[in-house]
Amino acid sequence: MTLDEVRMEADRLMREWHFDHRRFAAWCDLVQRPNTHDQRFETMRNDLRPALALKLLYSFNDARPWFIAFEVSW
């Protein structure tokens, strides 16, 4: 996804799944700066069993540089 696409979709998923999004705005500002575009974002729901994490990861693909991943931990 593009940065704009991943920001919109991540915002929607965090609201829908009730993830903590307090650091999200700071991350959005950070990755727009030069030489910081590959910084990942992660937020968790460890109050659930299994615990869930939402991650925004850099793909190193110039056409589609970002993707969203969910991690489920028992």
Confidence at residue 15, expressed as pLDDT on a 0 to 100 scale: 95
pTM, two decimals, is 0.87
For 12-32, the three-class secondary structure string (H helix, E strand, C coil) is HHHHHHCCCCCCHHHHHHHCC
Q: How far apart are the C-alpha atoms of 49 and 41, rounded to whole Å? A: 22
pLDDT tens digits, one per residue of 9-67: 999 999 999 999 999 999 999 998 888 878 999 999 989 999 999 999 999 888 889 99
Which residues in 1-22 are b (16+ Cβ under 10 Å) and which e? beeeebbeebeebbeeeebebe
Confidence at residue 63, expressed as pLDDT on a 0 to 100 scale: 85
Confidence at residue 29, expressed as pLDDT on a 0 to 100 scale: 93
Domain boundaries, the chain: 3-73
For residues 6 and 38, the model is more confident at 6
DSSP category for residue 74: -
